[in-house]
Amino acid sequence: MSGSGLVLILVLLPMTIWAQALEPYKLGLITSITGFMAPMGTGVRDASLIAVDKINKGGGIHGRPLKLILYDDASDPTKGVLAIKKLIGEDKVLGVTGPLSTGIAIQCATIAEEGRVPMFAHNSSSWSVAEKPWDIPKPPTKIRHWVFKLGIDPIFQYLAIYRMMTDIRGITKIASINVNNAMGKAMKAALEATHKKAGLEGVIWEEFGPEDTDMTAQLTKIKGAKFDALIISGAEMASGITYKQAREMGIKQPILGMPPIAMVKIVATLGKSLDGLRVPSMIMDIGEALPSDEPQRSVAVELTSRLKTEKGVPRADTGHGTGWDGIYVFEDALKRARPDLADVTKARGQVREAMATIKGFMGAYCIGDMTKWHEIAAPLIPVEMRGGKPIVVGKKIVSTWAELE
Amino acid sequence: MGSIYAIVGIGFMIIYSVTRVVNFAQGEFLMLGGMLSTTFHLNGFPLGISILLSVVIATLLGMFFYQTIIYPIRGAPAFALILMTFGGSIMIRGIAMLCWGTDPRSLPYFFGANPIRISGAILNPQAVWVIVSTFLMAVGIFLFFRFTIHGKAFLASATNAFLATLMGIKTERMGLFSFALAACLGALAGAIMTPLTFPHVGIGIHLSVKGFTAALIGGLNRIEGVVAGGLALGVLESLGAGFVSSGYKDAIALVVLLVVLTFRHQGLLGGAEAGRV
């Protein structure tokens, strides 16, 4: 949908005079500045730039500044692949952070693996770190050597949803509607593989397109089925519209959404139309409303205020958390790796080793150690939308593949 | 959605019937209508005034678009003009993205949010608005072409530009007027559909393609054909999403278009004579 080609925005960030003398550590960022993932992708960009700026103003890493080279994938896998090839071959980066969409991340992961460059994917599904399809819901078996990511696989999100359902009580039959792109299909596969074990029966499965604005045909079919709760799975505006139309059509059962439906931007646009929706929400989408004893609260608050003052962003969200963490995992890895810049291939290997051994990471999105599945867990917090705002209704849920081993 | 496709289709028809240009920037005027009206509304203007302002601005932009992009190369082959409209649409989208970013926007429902229930079927009140206004626009345009001197001048320029000039009709002014009218209708439709579809700057091209399909299915030179084409396309998409798969929605539209063009290249209701409106 975006006609724009591969937009190259070379960002030379302010460096301290001292740091200027040394060659910078180069990182690549691939995200969606245009196309349907853009509402989140622009957030990733802004927060990444702020994180790089903060690191450079603080003297860089080992006195070297970070240099971020940013490419727009236009929410299109082909452009994502071109971007990562360029980053590896021409820009000679030490690592790549992004991309956001599962479809693009899977393609880029193959290139990163071939090109032997560490990559920290921003997408949800573990399909990007796994070399081939595995026996869902068991943990992925063959993990790509060079690819890492946020631990927010749809299976973890559904585990959180099942836990919220037990709190509601009396739910045995579920209806499901999901977006029909790569992410939505990964979500549906995860739901299909896990719901029986949670004692649920799926009675109707429907889909909608990421750009759709009218889901009444599918919802009419759902309304005719006998079910206790509806699960909406998708990231885009479309999933928010699905909820709104479901309520307008008089669907009275509890409706639970996958975390992306409660993204700040969607909530801001749809406002009170989302009231009554229950979501296991991500840290940055709750932000300052987080309980004060929540360790990630301070990072979330810092990022929120920096975005407000430096970029004029009124509300921070998960996209921002993603961008911030994508830079800070590399900061953590670079600090310990002390890569030898004379030999790019060797340096990339050193960064990869350090990334695989990250311990006690404290981000705006994920928290803890890098697991053997190459993921850092992202906590989910049960919320219910009331008066156009998320209200925390349960305890934090942190899941990793270890739970399903 | 069918009504929205119909309005975009009417825009295509108005411009095509006068200038023989297929204006692929038509969808962008809907986007502008939606984005401008939400911007005014967010800045404290009442809903009605916001929509009025957005329609006025979009109309002026439509005229500006004609004057700067189409007029200077008038007489060039049709494909060159069509390419220019494509380029223009990308330009409008680019500028809009700089102004508004990529987030979707919203307006409140115009008159209440309580769904209307008719014997089991549930209708969204805003959807009723969209349908009623499509109907009004279509009837308005129909009457305009049939019964006003300007409308007849329009038709004359469409049928034979040279003879129309001999009769004292300024065909170029008619071109300008057709762009203004199409932009005005587009922006109005864009504002009305905003509470339902939450527009963002990227929706224009999608609407253009669907509206063009609607216009071709119905016949590019008859308003009742375009409206029927738009509604048919909307119903088909909805049925397709409900009974086949939402993934095939766009494919269904294109298959229908191919079938129609293969067997009836002038569209389902299109007359054989050129330029009939």
pLDDT digits (tens, 9 = 90+) for B241-260: 777 777 777 788 788 888 88
Ramachandran assignment for A27, one of left (phi > 0), alpha (psi -120 to 50 degrees), beta (any other): beta
Distance CA A372, CA A348 (A): 19
Interface with B, mutate which of A76, A100, A214, A252 (most B CBs under 10 A): A214
Q: pLDDT at residue B103 above 50?
A: yes
Do A188 and A228 fall within a single domain? yes
Q: Does residue A109 share a domain with residue A145?
A: yes
Are the beta carbons of B238 and A249 separated by less than 8 Å? no
Q: Are A357 and A100 in contact (CB under 8 A)?
A: no
- Give tens-digit pLDDT for B202-248: 888 888 888 888 888 888 777 888 888 899 888 888 888 777 777 77
ipTM more than 0.85?
Answer: no
Give the predicted TM-score (pTM) of the model. 0.77
Which residues in chain A have Cβ-Cβ distances shorter than 8 Å to B102?
33-34, 38-39, 41-42
Measured CA to CA, the distance from residue A328 to residue A324 in angstroms comes to 6
Contact A209 B249 (CB under 8 A): yes
Amino acid A263: pLDDT: 80
Chain A CB within 8 Å of residue B43 CB:
no
Smallest Cα–Cα separation from A220: which of B2, B194, B123? B123
Crossing angle for the helix pair B2-19 and B125-147, to the nearest 10 degrees = 20
Q: Please tell me if residue B39 touches chain A, with a CB cutoff of 8 Å.
A: no
- CB–CB contact B241 A217 (8 Å): yes
Cβ B201 vs Cβ B93: under 8 Å: yes
Whether the CB of A394 is below 8 Å from some CB of chain B: the reply is: no
Q: Give B-chain residues touching A36 at CB under 8 angstroms.
A: 202
Is the minimum CB–CB distance between A1 and chain B shorter than 8 Å? yes
> Would you say residue B235 lies in a domain?
no
A51 with A161, same domain: the answer is: no
Whether the CB of A244 is below 8 Å from some CB of chain B: the reply is no
Query: How high is the pLDDT of residue B113?
Result: 67
Tens digits of residue pLDDT in B42-100: 888 999 999 999 999 999 999 999 999 888 887 788 888 889 999 999 999 999 988 88
Name the residue of chain B whose CA is nearest to A246's CA. B122
Cβ–Cβ gap B202/A35 under 8 Å: yes
**pLDDT score for A1:** 39
**Whether residue A148 sits in one domain with residue A25:** yes
The reply to whether residue A269 touches residue B104, judged by beta carbons under 8 angstroms, is yes
A3 within domain boundaries:
no
Q: How much is the pLDDT for A385? A: 94
pLDDT of residue A81: 97
Decide if A2 is inside a domain.
no
How close A397 comes to chain B (CA, Å)? 29
Which residue, A290, A320, A246, A248, is CA-closest to A383?
A290
Report if residue B93 sits inside a domain: yes
User: In terms of domains, do A141 and A249 share one?
Assistant: no
**Does some domain include residue B168?**
yes
Q: What is the number of domains present in chain A?
A: 2
Identify whether residues A132 and A159 lie together within a single domain: no
Q: Do both A227 and A337 map to the same domain?
A: no
A291 vs A296: CA distance, rounded Å: 10
Cis peptide before A390 (omega within 30 of 0): no
Return the bridge partners of A278, or none.
Answer: A256, A384
Inside any domain, residue A29: yes
pLDDT digits (tens), chain A, 405 positions: 344 444 444 444 444 444 456 899 999 999 999 887 888 899 999 999 999 999 999 999 999 999 999 999 998 999 999 999 999 999 999 999 999 998 999 999 999 999 999 999 999 889 899 998 888 888 999 999 999 999 999 999 999 999 999 989 889 999 999 998 878 888 899 999 999 999 999 999 999 988 888 888 899 899 999 999 999 998 778 899 999 999 988 899 999 999 888 888 788 888 888 999 999 999 998 888 888 889 999 999 999 999 999 999 888 889 999 999 999 999 999 999 999 999 999 999 999 999 999 999 999 999 999 999 999 999 999 999 999 889 999 999 999 999 888
Partners of residue B246 in chain A, C-beta under 8 Å: 180, 206-209, 212, 218
Assess if residue B261 is contained within a domain. Answer: no
Contact between chains at B103 and A269 (C-beta distance less than 8 A): yes
Output phi, psi for A207, to 5 deg.
-135, 160
Look at A213-222, B31-40, B116-125 and tell me which has the smallest mean pLDDT: B116-125
Instruction: With respect to residue A1, please indicate whether it lies within any of the assigned structural domains.
Output: no
Task: Measure in Å the smallest separation between the Cα of A303 and chain B Cα atoms.
Answer: 20
Contact yes or no for B102 and A216 at CB 8 A: no
Total domain count for chain B?
1
In this structure, is residue B57 part of a structural domain?
yes
**Domain housing B79:** 2-108+123-204
Cβ-nearest to B102 among A39, A217, A249: A39
Please tell me whether residues A182 and A256 are part of one structural domain. yes
Interface probe, candidates B246, B248, B249, B252, chain A, greatest A C-beta count within 10 A: B246
Q: Please name the residue of chain A whose CA is at the shortest distance from the CA of residue B209.
A: A1
In a domain, B95, yes or no: yes
In terms of domains, do A145 and A159 share one? no
What is the residue range of A48's domain? 8-152+296-377
Locate the chain B residue with the closest alpha carbon to A3: B90
Q: A324, A47 in Cβ contact below 8 A?
A: yes
- Rg (chain B; Cα; Å): 18
Q: What's the average model confidence in pLDDT over B8-28?
A: 88
Please report which confidence band the pLDDT of residue B270 belongs to, taking 50, 70 and 90 as the band edges: low
**Interface touch B103/A33, C-beta < 8 Å:** no
Whether residues A390 and A245 share a domain: the answer is yes
Q: Say if A168 falls within a structural domain.
A: yes
**Domain CATH code at residue A317:** 3.40.50.2300
Instruction: Assess whether A188 and A273 both reside in one domain.
Output: yes
A247 touches chain B (CB under 8 A): no
Q: Chains A and B: how many Cβ contacts under 8 Å? A: 85
Q: Cβ neighbours of residue A12 under 8 Å, at least 6 residues apart? A: A67
Task: Closest CB to A1: pick one of B115, B122, B202.
Answer: B202
Please indicate, yes or no, whether residues A284 and A238 belong to a single structural domain of this protein: yes
Q: What is the CA radius of gyration of chain A?
A: 21
CB-closest option in B124, B202, B250 to A2: B202
Q: Is B43 a domain residue?
A: yes
Which chain A residues are Cβ-neighbours of B241 within 8 angstroms?
208-209, 212, 215, 217-218
Q: Give strand pairing partners of A267.
A: none
Q: How far apart are CA B224 and CA B261, in angstroms?
A: 18
Residue in A45, A46, A216, A241 to test binding to B, most B beta-carbons within 10 Å:
A216
A96/B132: higher pLDDT: A96
Length of chain A: 405
Q: List Cβ neighbours of A228 (8 Å cut-off, separation of 6 or more).
A: A170, A171, A172, A173, A174, A253, A254
Mean pLDDT of B140-162: 84
Q: What are phi and psi of B36, to 5 degrees?
A: -65, -45
Phi, psi of A80 (to 5 degrees): -60, -45
**pLDDT score of A225:** 93
Question: Could A248 and B106 be called an inter-chain contact, meaning their C-beta atoms sit closer than 8 Å?
Answer: no
- B64 located within any domain: yes
Interface of A with B in 211-230 (CB under 8 A): 211-218, 220-221
